[in-house]
Amino acid sequence: MLKADNIEVWRGQTQVLKDLSLELTPGVITALLGGNGSGKSTTLYALSGLVPLKAGRIWAGDVQLTGVGPRKAVAAGIAHVPQGREVFPTMSVQDNLLAGAATVTSRKLRTERLERVIATYPLLGRKLKLAAGALSGGEQQQVAIGRALMTNPKVVMMDEPSAGLSPAMVDTLIDTIRRLGDEGLTVLLVEQNVGVAMHVAAEAIVLKAGAIALHRPAGELLRDKSVLAAYLGH
Ligand SMILES: Nc1ncnc2c1ncn2[C@@H]1O[C@H](COP(=O)(O)OP(=O)(O)OP(=O)(O)O)[C@@H](O)[C@H]1O
Ligand SMILES: [Mg+2]
């Protein structure tokens, strides 16, 4: 499964990730928590091949992903839903979803994947022809997740999907993420919202200053007030 061994990432003169090691448990939803600037997004970028490593290695099972770049990471089954739910606002929901399978040459396969995503998220099926920008924030988040699913991933990484959503939309999102777990996917979920993390995650990792501070069962970690105060400022 997806694993980072002693990775280091630098941005200019700043070391952002410091000797970071983690391994995701297959089929489990893991929350990745940490204060602002602790390196959560950079960890996702590193795991999806979007930033170079200065040291360390990344593996997807037996496949070496170190330095291979984002396309090969996608081919190895790693999907990344970036921070800020980026959809193409003027494109239809259908075209947004199909963009996730742009490298799939078989039209039949693309259609099959689209049908599978719609089966999981019927709401998207009802809005296929609408411009994605016309959807609510929660619905756009489903489009962004659906696009990631079009790559047929084994691992889905999501960066703060609940940010900016209303409480009702957050409930929909929780349902959406749970469904990924029910389908047997491995999920790495960056969340500032501890409530969301508690509702969906079985394991939780806390980052502090670019290194892993804790990796424990989510229920245990997220109920520990001293942990929340020390690492997350709650
Ligand atoms: N392109 C960049 N150039 C310089 N520094 C960067 C760059 N990207 C990130 N950093 C720095 O790396 C550190 C970690 O950033 P990162 O975005 O990974 O944190 P984060 O935990 O996702 O934060 P947030 O909760 O704000 O999303 C921060 O100190 C940030 O300023
Ligand atoms: Mg971030």
List domains and CATH numbers for the chain: 2-232 (3.40.50.300)
Ligand 1 pocket, mutate which of 16, 160, 192, 205 (most atoms under 8 A from CB): 16
Atom nearest to 36 CA in ligand 1: 25
Atom nearest to 16 CA in ligand 1: 12
Q: Which residues line ligand 1 (CB under 6 A)?
A: 11-12, 14, 16, 34, 36-42
CA of 34 to the centre of ligand 1 (A): 12
Q: Which residues contact 126 (CB under 8 A, 6 or more apart)?
A: none
- pLDDT value of residue 218: 94
Residue nearest atom 10 in ligand 1 by C-alpha distance? 11
Question: Which residue would you say has higher pLDDT here, 175 or 228?
Answer: 175
Rg (CA), the chain: 17
- pLDDT tens digits for 98-157? 999 988 889 999 999 999 999 988 989 999 999 999 998 889 999 999 999 999 999 999
Predicted model pTM: 0.94
CB 153 within 8 A of CB 165: no
Residue nearest atom 31 in ligand 1 by C-alpha distance? 37
How far is CA 84 from each of CA 30, 39, 175, 206, rounded to the nearest angstrom? 20, 16, 19, 21
pLDDT bucket at 29, cuts 50 / 70 / 90: very high
User: Strands, E, within the chain: which ranges?
Assistant: 2-11, 14-23, 29-33, 55-60, 63-64, 78-81, 155-159, 186-190, 203-208, 211-217
**Secondary structure of residue 61 in the 3-state scheme:** coil
